[in-house]
Structure 1
Amino acid sequence: MTLLDTADEEYTANRATMLARLAEVNAAHTIAIDGGGAKYVERHRKRGKLLARERIELLLDPDTPFLELSPLAAWGSDYPVGASLVTGIGVVEGVECLITASDPTVRGGASNPWTLKKALRANEIAFANRLPVISLVESGGADLPSQKEIFIPGGALFRDLTRLSAAGIPTIAVVFGNSTAGGAYIPGMSDHVIMVKDRSKVFLGGPPLVKMATGEESDDESLGGADMHARVSGLADYYALDEPDALRTARRVVSRLNWRKQGPAPRASVEPPMHDEDELLGIVPGDLRTPFDPREVITRVVDGSRFDEFKPLYGPSLATGWAEVHGYPVGILANAQGVLFSAESQKAAQFIQLANQRDIPLLFLHNTTGYMVGKEYEQAGIIKHGAMMINAVANSKVPHLSVLMGASYGAGHYGMCGRAFDPRFLFAWPSAKSAVMGPAQLAGVLSIVARQSAAAKGMPYDDGADAALRAMVEQQIESESLPMFLSGRLYDDGVIDPRDTRTVLGLCLSAVHGAPVEGARGGFGVFRM
């Protein structure tokens, strides 16, 4: 059932606002796809090499999707958008794999601090969901001017590779060019290594460093070429004649992994939603202070538009219930009116426990300004009830997926499984905002505190300066709560088109079922009653 009127002026305005924000996101994506720019792309092509995304396309099974992760990493920083690395999930020989590909058109594929964060997030996803890892390597190692931010935490990359292998999760490295210094440990610590004739160069120190350190004269090929590693050191398990041959070899390696998912399979027959996904563009208002019904989102995302609501009359500002997405069962928690009260918090805690008893993944659809404040609500126990919901989320063991549709403020962000609570995947719509509180509220709090401080000191208060301060703070908090800013810092896994929500969730649910799907049987912290 839907009450959405697509001819309504409000719907039309919401759609226009969403499309404008999508255009901004798409422009940022284009910058990431362009890599180092036309000059360096052309230089790379003249060397007879494929671009990072072309390598991924040849690796994947034909006509299968690629769920790119963190494409806006480093947005708003001093480093290139995308962080010189492409990461995502795709299907190779019928096996869902976590794929990373260096972008050598961006400073030779050198790693900056955001490259590291993006790579570590990819490894985290691979480990949690038991996804084989394929690294398409062509990198000069650390971007030396920023080494102080890379060297110490960067060791986690090598730790992750060996822990993945120890957990029985295959790791495959395909080396297309330089894999130098710390980068040499990517093939060095992978289960399977493929190198390309006359292209791959893997060494701890290149000829200049060897000359400086030992005085020895050497050349790239004898020091770390593919032929040497295939015939002498044994580091190369497979010797490819060119890049397409290396990618064919990688596909053959995957085909021999004998890999099986450990989670249950989806329902064989899947019904699409009854309502058009295009209508998702006009549901969220441009002004997030205006409420909207998340059920209008749910009915355009879930199989057959069927949503069996749990406790619909109790705690109505949080909708909870059961559905399926691409044949996978999910429990959904969706903010209906923004504010979370005691009833909503207790309802959420019970629902999360039920999902854990039934081994059903949870989907959190965010549009919350946080838990309710005020004397009446404090006396009624909002702190302990909000803590009950957060306790349930923190100790839940089933996979969690989060989508930020609108506001995601304060502790409500935590209760709805924000980034700090380790959802398997977290995506945002271009309409989303997330911060400790709304910009106007935060600026107002600072103003009140400053006014009280002046009064306590017996000093006059400058109302003109106060207005300027409030305006500055509001502008700062507004810019820092926008999805591209947050995505640039990897606080989500990507900003997605609302029309792609069902597809993205289906890909994510398929990925999480690579690992066992098991809920907590007890093991929750003390619930304060």
Structure 2
Amino acid sequence: MTTLKSTVDTAADEHLANREAMLAKLTELDAEHAKALAGGGPKYVERHRKRGKLLARERIELVLDQDSPFLELSPLAAWGTDYQVGASIVIGIGVVEGVECLISASDPTVRGGASNPWTLRKTLRANDIAIANRLPVISLVESGGADLPSQSEIFIPGGRVFRDLTRLSAAGIPTVTAVFGNATAGGAYVPGMSDYVIMVKERSKVFLGGPPLVKMATGEEAEDEALGGADMHGRQSGLADYVAVDEVDALRLIRQVVSRLNWRKHGPAPAAEYAEPLFPAEDLLGLVPTDLRIPFDPREVIARIVDGSEFDEFKPRYGDSLVTGWARLHGYPIGILANARGVLFGQESQKATQFIQLANRADTPLLFLQNTTGYMVGTQYEQSGIIKHGSMMINAVANSRVPHLTVVMGASYGAGNYGMCGRAYDPRFLFTWPNAKSAVMGPAQLAGVLSIVARQAAVAKGQPYSEENDAAMRQMVETQIEAQSLAPFLSGRLYDDGIIDPRDTRTVLGLCLSAIHGAEVKGAEGFGVFRM
């Protein structure tokens, strides 16, 4: 392979300014992540501890193999909404007894672990990840069920959680649930539909209807333990496969179950040995300009994330605003598509289409490094067939069957978001850098379009047009679109799987590639009709 060179001057004023701006955004994000880590706050955390219970992240830490990494997903879910940041559940990928698993843990310090609409979205996204990548699922449950005031947004779509559990099982993907407290009403179906169920003596309470509901529905005076306690489910109903003496014992039993799964990955193993990049990840902090309209060379990013900084570029002289080529990352072969100058033209679209087909022929996963303002517009480009060419690229992305990974490094606007495998195109994982922005177009452009349309409408009606009102409207629209295009807003709505420190990009992608290879890696055997 060709070894990339770097021309980055880390002492340059521009690089240092970019670095400081990125560090400032990371500091802001640390404050938001701290809100998720804080759970329901000191009062409820202390009350939980006084009951002799572990916190959600402590349960995860104890079930994981010692010193193994945990890739938390969607930690900022619900950011900018009326709900707690993190959405009352912790979800991620970690290694248990040498097996990569999808792990979810209710956070009972946040409204008793009740599920709100964002908890549901986060859980469904986790299930999608588990199914696509053949990851055994471990659920650490302690939840009061649905957050009743928002039941209208949870009840009907929430049935998919149980559907997913049964489909995971049918696909031969194990599901293991440990109940540490309440699992009531619909929540009782989580253990009910899991392959393995562990309950904690004198702590677990699993029932469709608790004592108050039973009293109202039937008149029966029921007692918690007889109605849904761990001992009853272990001795009489048979819902509990194992009854643990305490929480630590329950976590031990989870590890015991996973150790007996005889689990094997279906994808090819990585190379046994590989070299680290030649250039430091620290440089990534200063590569992206603070003004996303200014392009930067993605080869500088590639040189800092791929093995040995080795990259064989494909069609380097054709469609040069899109960089394509082959590399390895943590020993796994990958194909890379990276925006070089933001705008996608016809040549770039054709180049991408061919490259995606080749990757599918070679059963090679694809990594999309996004920094795009979209497909080029204008009379010249419309006449040359930009719609056909852009559609060809989007067709190839949509019908590609090798795993896709996406990192949004900067801008992600218009249909460029689609062509570069945005959320709607189901990449296995999608992460953003803190500076990233995404919208149908830039705030100024969108406001300008609305202004032109309003001005033309006034002229057509023979009405005067207020420049003062126009300026106010443009300012309002720009402010709104800017706020809604920022990384925390997008991450809060689960349009990515998390905002990552650029310096962690190689590590995060390596963890994802390892998880992806739990499933078979096989390319598409055919694509749709390409309009030539």
**Normalised TM-score (structure 2):** 0.99
Q: Equivalents in 1 of 2:477, 2:516: separation in Å?
A: 40
Match in the other structure for 2:530: 527
User: C-alpha offsets along residues 147-182 of structure 1, whole Å, 9 cap, x if unaligned?
Assistant: 000000000000000000000000000000000000
Match in the other structure for 2:187: 183
Q: Any residues of structure 2 matched to 1:292-441 within 5 Å, and which?
A: 292-441=296-445
Task: Find the partner of 2:515 among 511, 521, 529.
Answer: 511
**Deviation at residue 383 of structure 1 after TM alignment:** 0.3
SS in 1 for 2:295: coil
User: C-alpha offsets along residues 291-317 of structure 1, whole Å, 9 cap, x if unaligned?
Assistant: 111111000000000111000110000
Match in the other structure for 2:492: 488
SS in 1 for 2:338: strand
Residue type matched to 1:65 in 2? P
Residue type matched to 1:175 in 2? V
1:250 matched to 2:254? The reply is: yes
Task: Find the partner of 1:143 among 121, 139, 147.
Answer: 147
User: C-alpha offsets along residues 401-444 of structure 1, whole Å, 9 cap, x if unaligned?
Assistant: 00000000000000000000000000000010000000000000
SS in 2 for 1:329: strand
Q: Equivalents in 1 of 2:199, 2:471: separation in Å?
A: 62
5+ unaligned residues in a row in structure 1: which ranges? Answer: none
1:460 matched to 2:467? The reply is: no
1:57 matched to 2:61? The reply is: yes
Match in the other structure for 2:473: 469
Q: Equivalents in 2 of 1:502, 1:358: separation in Å?
A: 23
**Deviation at residue 25 of structure 1 after TM alignment:** 1.1
Q: Equivalents in 1 of 2:524, 2:531: separation in Å?
A: 19
Q: Equivalents in 1 of 2:255, 2:10: separation in Å?
A: 46
SS in 1 for 2:387: helix
Match in the other structure for 1:4: 8
1:273 matched to 2:248? The reply is: no
Match in the other structure for 1:17: 21
Q: Equivalents in 1 of 2:241, 2:229: separation in Å?
A: 13
Q: Equivalents in 2 of 1:444, 1:363: separation in Å?
A: 34
SS in 2 for 1:403: strand
Q: Equivalents in 1 of 2:521, 2:470: separation in Å?
A: 53
User: C-alpha offsets along residues 306-333 of structure 1, whole Å, 9 cap, x if unaligned?
Assistant: 1110001100000000001100000000
User: C-alpha offsets along residues 229-248 of structure 1, whole Å, 9 cap, x if unaligned?
Assistant: 00110000001000000000
SS in 2 for 1:262: coil
SS in 1 for 2:415: helix
Q: Equivalents in 1 of 2:223, 2:88: separation in Å?
A: 27
SS in 2 for 1:175: strand
Match in the other structure for 2:505: 501
SS in 2 for 1:353: helix
Task: Find the partner of 2:231 among 227, 230, 235.
Answer: 227
Residue type matched to 1:493 in 2? D
Q: Equivalents in 1 of 2:279, 2:100: separation in Å?
A: 29
**Deviation at residue 379 of structure 1 after TM alignment:** 0.3
1:43 matched to 2:47? The reply is: yes
**Deviation at residue 218 of structure 1 after TM alignment:** 1.1
Match in the other structure for 1:263: 267
Task: Find the partner of 1:76 among 60, 68, 80.
Answer: 80
User: C-alpha offsets along residues 53-84 of structure 1, whole Å, 9 cap, x if unaligned?
Assistant: 00000000000000000000000011110000
Residue type matched to 1:527 in 2? F
Q: Equivalents in 2 of 1:471, 1:405: separation in Å?
A: 26
Residue type matched to 1:525 in 2? G
Which 4+ residue blocks in structure 1 deviate beyond 4 angstroms? none
Identity of aligned residues (%): 78
Task: Find the partner of 1:202 among 184, 199, 206.
Answer: 206
Residue type matched to 2:337 in 1? L
Q: Any residues of structure 2 matched to 1:83-232 within 5 Å, and which?
A: 83-232=87-236
Q: How many pairs does the alignment contain? A: 528
**Deviation at residue 17 of structure 1 after TM alignment:** 0.5
**Deviation at residue 521 of structure 1 after TM alignment:** 1.6
Match in the other structure for 2:448: 444
SS in 2 for 1:235: coil
**Deviation at residue 24 of structure 1 after TM alignment:** 1.2
Residue type matched to 2:398 in 1? A
Q: Equivalents in 1 of 2:282, 2:31: separation in Å?
A: 21
RMSD: 0.4
**Deviation at residue 487 of structure 1 after TM alignment:** 0.5
Q: Equivalents in 1 of 2:9, 2:450: separation in Å?
A: 41
Q: Equivalents in 2 of 1:44, 1:235: separation in Å?
A: 26
Match in the other structure for 1:286: 290
Q: Equivalents in 2 of 1:297, 1:122: separation in Å?
A: 28
User: C-alpha offsets along residues 475-508 of structure 1, whole Å, 9 cap, x if unaligned?
Assistant: 1000000010000000000000000000000000
